[in-house]
Structure 1
Amino acid sequence: MQHPFQEFQEFVAEDYPLAPLTWFRIGGPAAYFAKPHTVENLRAVLRRAAEANIPVKMLGGGTNVLVRDQGTDALVVHMDSPFFSDVAIEGETITAGAAVPLTALISQAARAGLAGLEVLTGIPGTVGGALRGNAGSRQGAIGPFVGGVDVLDSSFEVQQRERDDLSFVDRESNLDEPVILSARFELTREEPEAVVRRMRKIWIVKKENQPYGHQSSGLMFKNPSPDISAGALIDQAGLKGTRHGGAEVSDRHANFVIAHPGAKAEDVLHLIDQIQQRVWQQFGYELELQLQVW
């Protein structure tokens, strides 16, 4: 039977493996997978998905996504470089496409002598994902630097969301449109060397407390409150190093689960259940997933 995206064969594939595009490196395929080259491509394929009643999922850097072993019956849209990764600097403003890796955005800002975004050093992923989840750490979050965001709305029209329309709290934003296209960041001038020094300091602290770079891993839970850390609760519950199948609670930071070679998504999901139950029983906190499960 002809599939609903037949006319978009140039940038839509069927039964596409997702594991290599996520940090866990596990999970099944996407029923349909699109890498649009233009906003027009993007619009057309989203319209077709809506007509065919096919759910749509947006994939950025794959840092906070766990794909189930059977995969997903959705259309997965991957806004990739170079088509959605322009960066332009004008004065103290940087405009960046949704597919720009946060690491690239931070380093370009630092080189240009623009301060602010270095608080995000060590946070993986792309601009689009960071905006939607108001990415941040103890040092600060992306929200305060956002001057405006271009989105595709539910009618697939390009809209500009200005600063006054936007709300960023904890690890959430009110950016609920189907697609984030690009964002404008308002920064402050500072000597590049001073910005880079701060980046290095933050990086050193981050690396001491996260799984090793070669490990396939993901951050699991939101902190219950600004002063209560999910990682500390999991650690206090005695779960560091707990293993199920090929999945293990990191012994460096208990809010990360590592997927060892041969791990399955169901192994990670089993650990998630175990962690949630134990933390609830011992401390009365209901840990909410930061990870998206597809």
Structure 2
Amino acid sequence: MQHPFKDYQEFVAEDQPLAPLTWFRLGGPAAYFAKPRSIEEMRGVLNRAHEAGIPSKLLGGGTNVLVREPGVEGLVIHMESPFFSDVTVGEDRIKAGAAVPLTALISQAARSGLAGLEILTGIPGTVGGALRGNAGGRQGAIGPFVSRVTVLDSALELQERERDDLSFVDRGSNLDEPVILSAEFELTPEDPESVVRRMRRIWIVKKENQPYGHQSSGCIFKNPSADISAGALIDQAGLKGTRHGGAEVSDRHANFIIAHPGAKADDVLHLIDQIQQRVWQQFGYELELQLRIW
């Protein structure tokens, strides 16, 4: 059979391992794997996938993705630096490409004396993933700071989504276009030292409560509501430290699963099922995944 991406072989590979690109470091390969270096290459490879009936997925920082053992039967597009990671700082705003790590965006905003995004300190991933999932924590979420998002729409046309057209909910948004390219954030000018100090305080608190030195992802489940924590429910269900194969519910924060050496994606999936069943049986809450399973 002819290679469906023969015209794009300069940046499309076959049978590419995905585990090294995710925080869990688990799972199988992508049948096809693209690293486009421009919007034109992004549009071209997505068009070709559509024509060939090949499903496509976008991979950013890999912080909230678990790849199953067989891998992904389709095209995985990896947005990476430097091609989708420009950052431009203005008087009261900052614009960032979708591949910019959220941590880098927060640091640059703080050092430039722009306040607001520091409440997201300690949240992993890229700007694109953060926007799609309205990343946030107890202090707030990214959504309220967004003034404009540039996307490729379903016809792969470049579109500007303005604030009035955007909707952000708990760990979700209406940004359902195939590709988020960049975003502009409206922030508050403030003394850089004050912003950096606040950022460091939040970081210290986060690190005290999250697992460290292990292979894990971001939080596994969404909180059922603003005042009910998924981690607290899992803890109260007595599941902290529960292990299956090489996967373990973190004993520091129960909404994290750690993959020990030798773990398989199936071990993590087994723990997810176990947690959902136990929390439903004991408390009547149906925990919804924040983690994306490929």
1:204 corresponds to 2:204: yes
State the 1:90 CA deviation: 1.7
Task: Give the partner amino acid of 1:216.
Answer: Q
The equivalent of 2:170 in structure 1 is 170
Structure-1 separation of matches of 2:80 and 2:204: 29
The equivalent of 2:115 in structure 1 is 115
The equivalent of 1:46 in structure 2 is 46
1:180 corresponds to 2:177: no
Structure-1 separation of matches of 2:53 and 2:34: 16
Structure 1 residue ranges without an equivalent (≥5): none
The equivalent of 2:86 in structure 1 is 86
The equivalent of 1:132 in structure 2 is 132
In the TM superposition, 1:269-284 aligns within 5 A as: 269-284=269-284
**How high is the sequence identity, in percent, across the aligned residues?**
81
The equivalent of 1:76 in structure 2 is 76
Alpha-carbon displacement from aligned partner over 1:33-81 (angstroms, at most 9, x marks no partner)? 0000000000000000000111111100000000001101020000110
Structure-2 separation of matches of 1:200 and 1:261: 31
Structure-1 separation of matches of 2:147 and 2:194: 23
Alpha-carbon displacement from aligned partner over 1:77-112 (angstroms, at most 9, x marks no partner)? 001100000000121111100000001101110111
Give me the TM-score of the superposition, normalised by structure 2. Answer: 0.99
Alpha-carbon displacement from aligned partner over 1:193-242 (angstroms, at most 9, x marks no partner)? 10011101100110011110x21102210000000000000000000000
Alpha-carbon displacement from aligned partner over 1:225-280 (angstroms, at most 9, x marks no partner)? 00000000000000000000000000000000000011000000000000000000
User: In the comparison of the two structures, how many residue pairs are matched?
Assistant: 293
Aligned alpha-carbon RMSD (Å): 0.6
1:35 corresponds to 2:39: no
Give me the TM-score of the superposition, normalised by structure 1. Answer: 0.99
Structure 2 residue ranges without an equivalent (≥5): none
The equivalent of 1:215 in structure 2 is 214
Give structure 1 regions of 4+ aligned residues with deviation exceeding 3 angstroms. Answer: none
1:217 counterpart SS class: coil
Structure-1 separation of matches of 2:254 and 2:274: 13
In the TM superposition, 1:231-250 aligns within 5 A as: 231-250=231-250
Structure-2 separation of matches of 1:289 and 1:43: 30
1:280 counterpart SS class: helix
Structure-2 separation of matches of 1:259 and 1:98: 27
